[in-house]
Structure 1
Amino acid sequence: MTNFGIITDIMNNIINTLPTKKIKYEELIILKNNLINLYDKEIIEEIFNRLFIPNYNLNKKIIFTNGQNCFREFEDLYPDIQVSNDFIKLEKQFNKLKLLPQPEQRTKEWFIYRYNRITASDTAAAIDCNPYETVEEFILKKCDPNHPFRDNDAVYHGKKYEPIATMLYEHIYNTRVFEFGALPSDKYIFLGASPDGICSKYTLDNKFSSKFGTMLEIKCPVTREIITRGEIIDDICPYYYYCQIQQQLECCELDICDFWQCKISEYNNKNEFMLDTCSECINTENTNSHSISIDNKLKKGIILEFYPKHFKPEFDKDIIKWKSKYIYPKRLDLSIEQYNNWILKILDEYHNLYPDIHEKYYFNRIIYWKLDKSHNVSIPRNIPFLEKIIPILEITWSKVVYYRKNKDKLDELKDIVKKRKKYVKINANYKINNYLLTDKIKFLNNNFKLSSKYNSQESDIEEYSLFVT
């Protein structure tokens, strides 16, 4: 029994009025046109694509349970569902987050938001526990309002396949993930988070989701190995990502985050895509590498790539593919025939369906991707850990504010960065330790008064003025 509201009503109407014998093509077209006169054409097209197999017989074997064959394009038409009393508080928090103003990425508002906060992706650097960026480098970056956001192959790959990874997660765990942008902390105004998504109360087939309120953090590594067994911290989840997840949970006041990793690669051509049975795909979860079974249709798929019509490098070694746009199917459980129909539809109609892409981009190629490996582990909010690092984050933010007001002292930081890099280079066994948790910021000059509070609107306004002047 489906719970798709008006879509369910239309499907039942079709099934109840059809003869049991094979349907003639002409009869099917008449029925479809009659329904299009009553309902939205796109809805009727999608219903007929689900209900009828190529020889126009009613597909009596079609399954809508557990999120299969669902109508992702028309979820807004689904009826609402009620949560039990146990989830009312969580629903209020989820709705509160949805209503927060969320600036679009790389807009002026988005840059201001990031400039005035330690965002979760910088948490490890801000407590000096990121092997790729020292705390001094982080402070220097935050003191430069024009600090460039430079793409690279790893960042590009992650952005490109994040929507696919999200849909994979939704299909496997039968949950609808809502996207969220830049979310500020209520409690600590100098902190912010940008989770990859949060599970809603809905399953794909519009029932209550057991994943409701679970935050999603996605990683699609290119070279880093996905570890599927061992301790969560450092084994499965690198420490710098663990710090990021904890700050995100704190800012959003949620209790669980699924750390979802997908190793995704690309076929060289369509023939490889067609012939691959995906028998080597590995899918696991938890800390014991528990194997999970997923539909083979989810293990490979297609996206469409569009290049900018006018490419202008933003920095040295910038390349055109990093500026690409992609069009993704609404769901991943498509047959080959459905994929082919989707490609034809998009290429024929994307000037209407995606006018922004059509205006500034041109179609470049069809990309055939495959899932090589996936792993999921649930990470709980760690209050004692947060109680240790938040005072350090506050000290680091105080340093940022100090150096913004005393830019003549920034050379001190630059010298420290050089010395630390030299130390790392000379000492091959050097590893950034968590000394900061006990000794605070050793490398910085503490001969200035630290404000007791930086979680006030006044300090936020002051930092904003520093940005715009």
Structure 2
Amino acid sequence: MICINELKPLNDIFDTLEPPERNIPYNETDLEELRESIQMIITDFVENNIDYYKYEDFNDRVYEHTNEIMMNLYNNLIEVFEDINMYDFIMEGINIYFNLIGVPRSYKDSILTTPKKERNLAKHLDHLREIPQPQQRTDDWFQFRWNRITASSAWKILDSQASINQFIYGKCKPIDKSKYSKVNINSATHHGHKYEEVSVILYENMYNTKIEEFGCIPSAKCECIGASPDGINVKRSNPRFGRLLEIKNPVSREITGIPKKSYWIQMQIQMYVTELPECDFLETSFKAYESEEQFLEDGTFNKTKDGKQKGIVVCFNNGTEPIYKYPPINISQKNFDDWLEKTIEENTNLSWVCNTYWKLDSFSCILVPYNEKWMLSVIPKFKKIWDTILKERETGYEHRKPKSRKKKKITEENSENIVVVKVRTESFSNSLL
């Protein structure tokens, strides 16, 4: 028997130990084959589901499909590659595909692409300028729009049957000019109109460019389609020369940098009609100050305390509708006062209404490239719907009219579930005193 005090002292050998070599069951060739498999799955999905490009979650759909295939068909391989991050491999594959092979739905910002000198852009823009344009809100203008699928409403044709019916019904019924004469200054549409010029000024200032409007342009390839881009970059020395610009000024919608389905479709049609391959999608969110005092107290005349852009929109009225005037960006307070006085003197036919003091709350500008394969895949759908419109203008379209909901009749069986509440209102004013 050995006593514990008779044992020899132990030596610390921890630092001398080396882990055994791990027997990794795969090599670099296996990883390359895994990458190739992922690329094949992505390519197959995109090419066979070209219509999915229109969806806002298109990239998520590509990932989810690829991941599902990898998990189901390559389950044994997943166990072999258990120490690698499959998410990273799939995302790497998606990035490679859309950078080198396929057309991305959109980019993360307004990147500059490699210039393609396939034609004279200046000459092409001159051609677009020469296209006859009916004066806005004239009979010819109404007819022009009534007889075409416009880019802003084309998404309805690629939506539900209810949306298709609504679109056909709207194109068949007589033109309602009255809706263009009504102005609701509190509507989201008017908000976008009011700040659109501010967005253009900010864009021009940020990218040192010039934006020009081109009106409603008919397609030279499909006569039933037309588009009215917000503008086109026309500064020849700018690398964005010839790039379209589409502007959205949401009131409450969160700006994510990913175009909604309807907006993405709108831009694709604009590029198809103008034959220009790129469009900057600009989203700006403006917040109005409650007063001039609040505006002046927040930072400087041009920037908020937290560095956001500030400015002023001056509202006049011509007796029918509001007319907006926009001072130069980053103008000083003194120069603004001089500008306002001069603007009022030059517009004696207008009545000054108010100044709107704003700050830029959010700004996003991304590049959306033209997707020819997607566009060619939907042209037959547009033509089919347009043929239906032309036919039903002659044969009748009332069956397309949205059905009104019928009010539920009160019967003896359900009358006992009705609760009648009587409210006395004559004393409300007294109770608030």
TM-score class, shorter: 0.5 to 0.7
Amino acid at match of 1:201: K
Q: Which deviations, in whole Å up to 9, do the C-alpha atoms of 1:212-255 show, x marking residues without a partner? A: 01100000011111113xxxxxxx10001111100010000000
Q: Pick one of 154, 170, 190 that aligns with 1:156.
A: 190
Q: Partner of 2:428 in structure 1?
A: none
Query: Does the CA-based 8 Å contact 1:104-1:181 persist in structure 2?
Result: no
Residue 303 and residue 136 in structure 1: after superposition, are their counterparts in 2 closer, same or farther (change >3 A)? Answer: same
Q: Partner of 2:342 in structure 1?
A: 345
Q: Partner of 1:325 in structure 2?
A: 323
Query: Does the CA-based 8 Å contact 1:110-1:182 persist in structure 2?
Result: no
Query: Does the CA-based 8 Å contact 1:302-1:339 persist in structure 2?
Result: no
Q: Which deviations, in whole Å up to 9, do the C-alpha atoms of 1:281-304 show, x marking residues without a partner? A: 7xxxxxxxxxxxxxx6x8111121
Give the total of aligned pairs.
284
Residue 249 and residue 151 in structure 1: after superposition, are their counterparts in 2 closer, same or farther (change >3 A)? Answer: farther
How big is the shift at 1:142? 0.6
Structure-2 separation of matches of 1:105 and 1:371: 30
Query: Which structure has the larger Rg over C-alpha atoms?
Result: 2
Q: Pick one of 86, 104, 108 that aligns with 2:135.
A: 104
Q: Percent identity?
A: 35
Amino acid at match of 1:266: A
Q: Partner of 2:293 in structure 1?
A: 271
Q: Partner of 2:275 in structure 1?
A: 253
Structure-2 separation of matches of 1:379 and 1:308: 38
Q: Partner of 1:95 in structure 2?
A: 126
Residue 303 and residue 246 in structure 1: after superposition, are their counterparts in 2 closer, same or farther (change >3 A)? Answer: same
Secondary structure of residue in 1 paired with 2:220: coil
CA RMSD, Structure 1 to Structure 2 (Å): 2.3
2:241 is aligned with 1:212: yes
Q: Partner of 1:334 in structure 2?
A: 331
Q: Pick one of 166, 169, 182 that aligns with 2:203.
A: 169
> If the length of structure 2 is used for normalisation, what is the TM-score?
0.62
How big is the shift at 1:129? 5.6
How big is the shift at 1:308? 4.1
Query: Does the CA-based 8 Å contact 1:260-1:377 persist in structure 2?
Result: yes
Secondary structure of residue in 1 paired with 2:311: strand
2:224 is aligned with 1:190: yes
Query: Does the CA-based 8 Å contact 2:304-2:310 persist in structure 1?
Result: no
Amino acid at match of 2:281: F
Query: Does the CA-based 8 Å contact 2:142-2:175 persist in structure 1?
Result: no
2:413 is aligned with 1:418: no
Residue 279 and residue 367 in structure 1: after superposition, are their counterparts in 2 closer, same or farther (change >3 A)? Answer: closer
Amino acid at match of 2:138: T
Residue 275 and residue 87 in structure 1: after superposition, are their counterparts in 2 closer, same or farther (change >3 A)? Answer: farther
- Structure 1 portions without partners, runs of 5+: 1-83, 203-207, 229-235, 282-295, 312-322, 352-357, 423-469
How big is the shift at 1:340? 1.4
How big is the shift at 1:276? 1.7
Structure-2 separation of matches of 1:183 and 1:112: 13
Amino acid at match of 2:153: D
Q: Partner of 1:369 in structure 2?
A: 358
Structure-2 separation of matches of 1:214 and 1:171: 16
How big is the shift at 1:103? 2.2
Amino acid at match of 1:376: C
Q: Pick one of 225, 229, 234 that aligns with 2:254.
A: 225
Q: Which deviations, in whole Å up to 9, do the C-alpha atoms of 1:53-111 show, x marking residues without a partner? A: xxxxxxxxxxxxxxxxxxxxxxxxxxxxxxx9937522221111111122232222211
